[in-house]
């Protein structure tokens, strides 16, 4: 990757600071193919330009909460990538994901340059992804699960397993992953007193409770190492 011109790099750094809670100098240096010392100079330049950057010693940088610059314009390739991602995600089987992605991308597309809007419409009509061609939806729970996951809220669910067993469970959502086009929820199941993986489209009903739980310290990598090989029955 070639080093970007400094103005383009400074603009990109602002975007990255606005899109993440915390960004390290090492991350920015690797992202832009420059030295950490160069990133330090870039951060000082942005601060001197009036950008309210907060430095957390030993952790990284963030932008003062509530501060936002108007969004930068997309390049043609970025706009094309956005439209491609939208068409791919429309094939997803979870209704809540499709609705929210479409709404979010519609807002993002509103800031495209006028000439890009026509190109975006043309590209959307010329992209086709196989699989789930009828765009059937088998679940509507993904967004609610994601909300519970980041806020550490207990979920109560009615689950219908592949073995045709129905159970009611209180679960502590931990992570989500996709395999063969299906979303799986990794959660600590209080019924089994252990971590389990649940097919999201097998959840018949889901209730977000007011109870919170202590965040789990296990990493997703540790889950795969310790649990996936065992393939425990939900």
In tens digits, the chain (234 residues) has pLDDT values of 455 678 888 888 988 888 788 899 999 999 899 999 999 999 999 999 888 999 998 889 998 888 776 666 677 788 888 888 888 888 888 899 888 888 888 777 777 766 777 777 788 788 777 766 666 778 889 999 999 999 999 999 999 988 889 999 999 999 998 887 778 999 999 999 999 999 999 999 999 999 999 999 999 999 988 887 655 667
- For the 6-63 domain, the top CATH level (class) is mainly alpha
Residue with tokens 């979870």: 94
Measured in whole angstroms, the distance separating CA 163 from the mean position of its chain's CA atoms is 31
* Residue limits of CATH 2.30.30 in the chain: 142-228
* Distance between CA atoms of residues 35 and 52, nearest Å: 23
Fold of 142-228: SH3 type barrels. (2.30.30)
What pLDDT score was predicted for residue 231? 57
* Residue limits of CATH 1.10.10.10 in the chain: 6-63
What pLDDT score was predicted for residue 1? 47
Over the chain, what HEC string results?
A: CCCCCHHHHHHHHHHHHHHCCCECHHHHHHHHCCCHHHHHHHHHHHHHCCCCEEEECCCEEEECCCCCCCCCCCCHHHHHHHHHHHHHHCCCCEHHHHHHHHHHHHHHHCCCCHHHHHHHHHHHHCCCCCCCCCCCCCECCHHHHHHHHHHCEEEEEEEECCCCCEEEEEEEEEEEEEECCEEEEEEEECCCCEEEEEEHHHEEEEEEEEEECCCCCCCHHHHHHHHHCCCCCC
């Amino acid at each position: 990757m070639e080093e970007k011109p400094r103005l383009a790099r400074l603009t990109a750094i602002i975007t990255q600071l606005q899109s993440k809670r915390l960004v390290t100098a090492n991350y920015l240096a690797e992202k832009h193919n420059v030295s950490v010392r160069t990133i330090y100079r870039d951060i000082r330049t942005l601060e001197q330009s009036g950008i309210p950057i907060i430095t957390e010693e030993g952790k990284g940088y963030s932008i003062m909460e509530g501060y936002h610059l108007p969004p930068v314009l997309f390049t043609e390739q970025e706009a094309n990538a956005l439209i491609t991602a939208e068409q791919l995600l429309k094939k997803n089987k979870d209704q809540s994901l499709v609705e929210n992605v479409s709404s979010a991308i519609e807002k993002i597309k509103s800031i495209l340059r006028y000439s890009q809007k026509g190109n975006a419409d043309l590209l959307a009509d010329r992209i086709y992804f196989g699989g789930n061609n009828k765009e059937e939806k088998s679940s509507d729970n993904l967004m609610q699960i994601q909300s519970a996951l980041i806020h550490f809220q207990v979920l109560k669910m009615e689950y219908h397993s592949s073995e045709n067993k129905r159970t009611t469970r209180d679960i502590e959502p931990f992570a989500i992953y996709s395999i063969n086009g299906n979303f799986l929820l990794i959660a600590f199941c209080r019924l089994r007193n252990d971590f389990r993986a649940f097919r999201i489209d097998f959840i018949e009903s889901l209730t977000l409770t007011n109870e919170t739980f202590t965040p789990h310290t296990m990493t997703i990598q540790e889950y795969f190492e310790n649990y996936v090989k065992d393939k425990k029955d939900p």
